[in-house]
């Protein structure tokens, strides 16, 4: 449903975790950052972000806390948990290997 079709399964999770690795953010801020770092190449509809966040929270990779933001809005702020950080490192390494392999294959066929 809310999984963007042009994203490989699990990629969105990886991106969210990576973004949270730098600092805790609200769902809104995560969405903004996502657009920013991917130069709008990754088109994720705003709504689809949230089920992914809740799922990650349930899995224990991220935790949430209600805080007041600078403009005094009450926001649910997500942050990476220690197990989440380990998981991110492992998945990032996997992604690295996979993408290199794919890149390699793609170039081969072009020649």
Partner 1 sequence: MGRTPMWRRYLRFWGSDASADVDAELDHHLGELVELLVREGHRPAEARAEAERRFGDYAEVKEACVDIDQSWERQQRWQRLLADFWQDLRVGARTLAKNPGFAISAVLVLGLGLGGATVMVSVINAVFVRPLPFPEPDRIVSVVRHDSRFRGANEFHPQRNVAVLRDRSKAFEALAGIGISPGINLVSQHGSTFISRVEVTADYFQVFEVAPRLGRAFSRDDEVAPSTVVLSHDVWAGHFGGDHGIIGQVVRLGGRPHTVIGVMPSGFWSFEQADAWTPFRPDPSGGDQNYRLIGRLGAGWTPAQAQAELRAASTDLHADLRDPRDEARLDVQSYHESVAAGTGGLVWFLTAAVGAILLLVCANAAGLQVARTVGRRQELALRAALGGLRGRLLRQLLTESVLLATAGGAVGALAAATGVSGLVALRPRLAIWDITVDGPVLFGAVAIAVLSGVLFGLLPGALAVRSEAADTLRAGQSRSVTTAHASWMRRSLVVAQVALCTMLLVSAGVFLRTFAGLSTSDLGFDPANVLTARASLEGPAYGSRDAVAALYRRTLTELAQLPGVEAAAVANNLPVERGLQMLLLQRPDNRMEPAEADWRYVAGDYLDVLRIPLVAGRAFSAADHRAAAPPVALVNEMFASRFGGRAVLGTRLQMTAGEVDDQMREVVGILGDVRTRGVTATRPTVFVPVEQVPDDLLAEAHGFLQVNWVLRTRQGATGLVRSVERVIGEADPLLPITAIRTMDEVVGAAIAATRSRTFLLGLFAVAALTLAAAGLYGFVAYTVAQRTKEIGIRLALGASRARVTARLALQGVVLSATGSVLGVGAAALFTVALRRMTPDALPLDSWTVAGVVFVLGAVSIAATVVPAVRATQVDPATTLRAE
Asked if 96 is part of the footprint of partner 1 (rule: CB under 8 A), the reply reads no
Asked if 84 is part of the footprint of partner 1 (rule: CB under 8 A), the reply reads no
Could you tell me which residues come within 8 angstroms of residue 38 by beta carbon, excluding any fewer than 6 positions away? Answer: 15
Asked if 95 is part of the footprint of partner 1 (rule: CB under 8 A), the reply reads no
Cα separation, 32 vs 109, whole angstroms: 36
**Strands, sheet with 62-68, edge to edge from the N-terminal-most edge strand:** 25-26, 74-80, 62-68
> Minimum distance between the CB of residue 3 and partner 1, rounded to whole angstroms?
11
Asked if 51 is part of the footprint of partner 1 (rule: CB under 8 A), the reply reads yes
Query: Which residues would be at the binding site for partner 1 (CB under 8 A)?
Result: 1-2, 26-28, 31, 45-48, 50-51, 54-55, 57-58, 65-68, 73-76
């Amino acid at each position: 449903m809310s999984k963007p079709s042009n994203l490989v399964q699990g990629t969105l999770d990886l991106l969210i975790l990576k973004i949270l690795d730098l600092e805790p953010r609200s769902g809104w801020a995560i969405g903004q950052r996502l657009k920013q770092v991917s130069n709008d190449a990754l088109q994720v509809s705003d709504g689809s972000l949230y089920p992914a966040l809740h799922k990650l929270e349930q899995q224990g990779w991220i935790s949430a806390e209600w805080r007041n933001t600078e403009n005094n809005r009450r926001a649910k702020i997500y942050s990476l948990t220690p197990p989440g950080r380990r998981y991110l490192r492992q998945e990032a390494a996997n992604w690295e290997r996979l993408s290199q392999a794919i890149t390699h294959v793609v170039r081969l066929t072009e020649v």
